[in-house]
Structure 1
Amino acid sequence: MKLAPPAIWILLFVSLNGCAKDRSLAPPPDSEQITVTVKVPKELEAETMQVMYRSATCKRVTHGASGQRIEVEGHHSIDVQLQRQGLSDLYQASLAKDGGGACKWHLANVIFGVTYADPTRFGENVTSGAGGGVVVIFDHNNSPRGGADIKVDGDLIIKKDYYPWVKENFLNGYRKRVSLAGQGSIYLNYQALQARKVYFEPVLHSGFLVSSEGTKVHKIGSFIKFTYPDGSVLADGRSEPDFRKLQSIRLAAESKQ
């Protein structure tokens, strides 16, 4: 018996299983838009925004702890560069809420933020670190950075204080990075189901630098040493600067001006 070519078997398999969908995005012309705007301080730059669409039509298969087959929503991720608005400090991107296509994609979440444009201004071989990130979730799924810490109704306006944080690490190789110390973790996580406009304004207090020196040996009682803008030095077991202390130092200094 003559066997069919491999390509024929593939076509038969696809047609029998009904999974020959075009998984590309194809937003309809009348799709509602969600606008993301970042006001970028002059020392910083907007990072590339990670955008995720999800689909209940084009599912993907994963497996549980005991090997059972689990179907979950499919996802499609793209990178989007925020565009500067004229000569202003505003950077913006518009995203289709309805991703369209055969998979009927919908906008699920975005991850964006700011970082230092020139980290070497803090010293040779200094690289950009973490901080200054935002996650906005538009559906009921977690993002790649986890779930939401804050849920909001309507549009989302975020204005947060940040401080330059130069940190040296010695264990597992020497590294020196400049990060943004703010309130909370590296990313601020929001769920905004009804938002059509997202605005993020990071306020950088560049004159109030905090530095840290990591431990050089694994030893109980050996902590990261933080030097704050007022000259105080603390090694109290923290892994990140004390944000309230930074705010207090700045506000006290500004009240004397």
Structure 2
Amino acid sequence: MKHVPLVALSILFISQSGCAKDYSLSPPPDSEQITVTVKVPKELEAEVMQVMYRSATCKRITHGASGQRIELEGYHGIDVYPQRQGQSDLYQASLPRDGGGACQWRLSNVTFGVTYKNPERFGQDVMAGAGGGIIAIFDHNNSPRGGADFEVAGDLVLKRDYYPWIKENFLDGYIKRVSLIGEGGIYVAYRALQARHVHFEPILHSDFKLYSVGVKEKKKGNYITYTYPDGNVVADGRPDSKFLRLQAIRLAAESKK
């Protein structure tokens, strides 16, 4: 298996003693590798992976409400570009668990996912929106976006359904985005302490689109209008699970085939 090298970011900080300290990553050759693989549908593309390492050796200093000094683990983030495996739809990166260096960095978490490759296919000036994100946490710390939604033993293998969500918003300027709506939030976080392999397969149901049109002014009785792929229109302001409704519509349609 081909490993994708991490680019060591050489950052020199000046300590209180006046000496420069090297905070760069320097993974040893024999470091255990965690392989992250994304199976990318043809309409989507893999996002850059945001990888965080932590160090108990190189502390960061903050202060409490009373001004007391608080020492926390240092952290170091890098971007890793997943590499396409031949002519397949698999994109992969290998992340050393041991980040090495003077700070003895240890892999903490990785944030990754998929997004629309060509959002303009939904109209001129349409932008790619949020959704389709995964966070894999490999230690007992939170990620930059919070803690874990789920705990997983062993490798992390995910297969999740997604639907296109085309949103038009008018307040504070017009903008149109195409997002991915799945079960859970924009990012779903998993703690996988023993994982050596992470495999994410997003299933895009592109024929079942959700459209929403925002209000043009804020006033009582104005609500976002949602149009579902079965033709139903909802604009009553009541909360519901858009994902579960989309799932039900798709499954009903497929059962009639």
State the TM-score, normalized to the length of structure 2. Answer: 0.91
Q: Which residue of 2 aligns with 1:42?
A: 42
2:256 counterpart of 1:256: yes
Question: Which whole-Å deviations, capped at 9, do the CAs of 1:189-229 have from their partners, x for residues lacking one?
Answer: 11111101000000000000110011111223422111000
One-letter amino acid of the counterpart of residue 89, structure 1: D
Q: Which residue of 1 aligns with 2:213?
A: 213
- Cα distance, 1:252 vs structure 2: 0.7
**Alignment gaps of 5+ in structure 2:** 1-13
Greater Rg by CA: 1
CA distance in 2 between counterparts of 1:11 and 1:197 reads 38
Change over 3 Å in CA distance of 1:77–1:70 after alignment to 2: same
Q: Which residue of 2 aligns with 1:193?
A: 193
Change over 3 Å in CA distance of 1:233–1:71 after alignment to 2: same
State the TM-score, normalized to the length of structure 1. Answer: 0.91
Say which SS state the counterpart of residue 66 (structure 1) adopts. Answer: coil
Say which SS state the counterpart of residue 107 (structure 1) adopts. Answer: strand
CA distance in 1 between counterparts of 2:54 and 2:239 reads 35
- Cα distance, 1:54 vs structure 2: 0.3
CA distance in 2 between counterparts of 1:99 and 1:234 reads 50
CA RMSD of aligned residues (A): 1.6
User: Identity over aligned residues, as a percent?
Assistant: 70
Q: Which residue of 1 aligns with 2:17?
A: 13
One-letter amino acid of the counterpart of residue 18, structure 2: V
* Structure in which a larger fraction of residues adopt helix: 1
Task: Indicate conservation of the 8 Å contact 1:181/1:241, yes or no.
Answer: no
CA distance in 2 between counterparts of 1:238 and 1:185 reads 18
CA distance in 2 between counterparts of 1:199 and 1:144 reads 21
Q: Which residue of 2 aligns with 1:3?
A: none
Point out 4+ residue stretches in structure 1 off by more than 4 angstroms.
238-241
Aligned length: 244
Task: Indicate conservation of the 8 Å contact 2:15/2:21, yes or no.
Answer: no
Q: Which residue of 2 aligns with 1:104?
A: 104
One-letter amino acid of the counterpart of residue 84, structure 1: R
Q: Following superposition of structure 1 onto structure 2, how do residues 47-66 of structure 1 map, counting pairs within 5 Å?
A: 47-66=47-66
CA distance in 2 between counterparts of 1:240 and 1:91 reads 34
**Alignment gaps of 5+ in structure 1:** 1-9
Q: Which residue of 1 aligns with 2:11?
A: none
Q: Which residue of 2 aligns with 1:150?
A: 150
Say which SS state the counterpart of residue 250 (structure 1) adopts. Answer: helix
